[in-house]
A and B are shown apart, each in its own frame.
Chain A
């Protein structure tokens, strides 16, 4: 989905319509879920449907994707569903299964899963590696939590070499500052 969104963004530049990359000037608010992300001023962001993409300069080098998933709806690649108020670890297992069936994540491998906290909620953290469709080694940090009938998921993706480690602290900081305000 993230790749489709990036491709859409590129296409929109060419044809002059659709979602655009905007410059961060304050909190980025995704009104449908009420998610508020505090990214550094001057970074770029794009909102499309229920997803927010945030990047320091280029999504090819480092991108954070925030999205909400609805309970009782199958995920993109598997027919498993998110449950209401799922244990963070169980949510991580479903998300991982979804990655395993995502062909864009070739040779997908979980390096570590661990508990975390986001917005005072019990959350999960998955550190994984895969090869992109171009064959580049990538790393991904996925964090998320389930509250009520929604799951809030954050995915930070970057090339394994240099960019992932360089950008990880800042991306973790953005996730740690995430809050929910009243949704639309």
Chain B
């Protein structure tokens, strides 16, 4: 079946809930399915879904290429979560979520396929129900189906939204043997779909390097942000690769992947900055500049990063202001740089320049939610000069 046909089929399936399909399941499995569907709905309605239909369609085409035909009632489908941390996870239903943070770090479709192959294996091989039954036999079952795990203070907003199924899929991971199985089956799937197997360990090498960028005590709790778990993946995929025929490196550049993920790479820089993940933002900016030289929109991200990363460093602030001036030269219709320049001159006591930029901001963004703030600055300057 062609990927587009499978995609249409999976959309139709998702419109009609699992009526009847769960009837063939044992009680505990049906319960896990119901819990998964509740948790998925919670995530879908959380406001954390990254809205980009073109990207979502592309990701689902890749996912279906990797998974091929899967036994019902599992229906592979992937959505993107606005979250800067490195993670992806799948529910037993086949619904998968990938964080913008992880997507922004990938280099090509083969790495994406590796991730999808690993995750969908957890769904098709029923790792959640195996985990539950194992815990049942070790008397942890009540805890498993009881209160949600939650309680991740710093960062990890998505983790706080998860219930027990999502927690296992996203944070704790499955048993070592289940994870190894997901590595092995996932690897075969990505290879069978025609992807370059050499990219499988490369994916985990990138992730491993990336998690060292932020301070170790402030790491997110997610499975793919865990150093030992990434180390396990890396070893497993390297072993699998050693037994495979490897395509020679032809310096292949995955232009489709790079084009389709352009917006998410760009947007995740802003998400990183909001979350205070400044090193990661810096790294993504350099990747973006390499991939898309001459795209001046990146200047705003760079200036925003300088402002927030080192607010007390006058040299950085000066650099940021020069970037804002450059942005205005390139596009005089943009409002935001005027606001930042207005505030900069306001703090420096340069009233005329401050007012010029504040007025430009209000003219270019008449509906701005912070309009009254800007009017307040202007009033304050006028009161002082009167």
Contacts and interface: CB of A to CB of B under 8 A. Distances in A.
Interface stretch (B15-23, B235-243, B258-266, B368-376): B368-376
Contact-residue size bin, chain A (C-beta under 8 Å from the other chain): 20 to 34
A77 B154 contact: yes
B372 A74 contact: no
Contacts of A90: 311, 343
Contacts of A97: 274-276
A80 B373 contact: no
Interface string A84-114: 0001111010000100111110111011111
B316 to A, nearest CB: 13
Contacts of A131: 45, 47
Contacts of A106: 45-47, 161
A103 B370 contact: no
Contacts of A92: 373
B46 A115 contact: no
B312 interface: yes
Chain A interface SS verdict (over half) = mixed
- Residue from A78, A81, A87, A135 whose CB has the most chain B CB atoms within 10 Å: A78
B218 interface: yes
A97 B278 CA distance: 14
Contacts of A157: none
B157 interface: yes
B158 interface: yes
A14 to B, nearest CB: 16
B276 A107 contact: no
Contacts of A115: 372-373, 376
B376 A78 contact: no
- Residue from A87, A102, A115 whose CB has the most chain B CB atoms within 10 Å: A115
Interface in B300-332: 308, 311-312
A113 B155 CA distance: 24
A129 B159 CA distance: 22
Contacts of A78: 155, 274-276
B290 interface: no
- Residue from A76, A97, A103, A113 whose CB has the most chain B CB atoms within 10 Å: A103
Given A89-B343, A115-B376, A103 B46 contact: yes
Contacts of A87: 343, 347
A111 B218 CA distance: 31
B236 to A, nearest CB: 32
Interface string A112-125: 11110000000010
B155 A101 contact: yes
A79 B218 contact: yes
Nearest to B218: A79
A49 to B, nearest CB: 14
B41 to A, nearest CB: 10
A81 B154 CA distance: 13
A83 interface: yes
Contact of B370 (A80, A81, A89, A135): A89
A115 to B, nearest CB: 4
A124 B311 CA distance: 19
A92 B369 CA distance: 12
Interface of B: 45-48, 153-155, 157-161, 214, 218, 274-278, 308, 311-312, 343, 347, 369-370, 372-373, 376
Cβ-closest 9 pairs across A and B: A79-B276, A114-B372, A107-B47, A115-B376, A103-B160, A80-B276, A103-B157, A101-B157, A97-B274
13 contacts: A77-B155, A78-B155, A78-B275, A79-B276, A80-B275, A80-B308, A97-B274, A102-B157, A103-B48, A110-B369, A111-B369, A113-B369, A114-B376
Interface of A: 74, 76-81, 83, 87-90, 92, 97, 100-104, 106-108, 110-115, 124, 131, 135
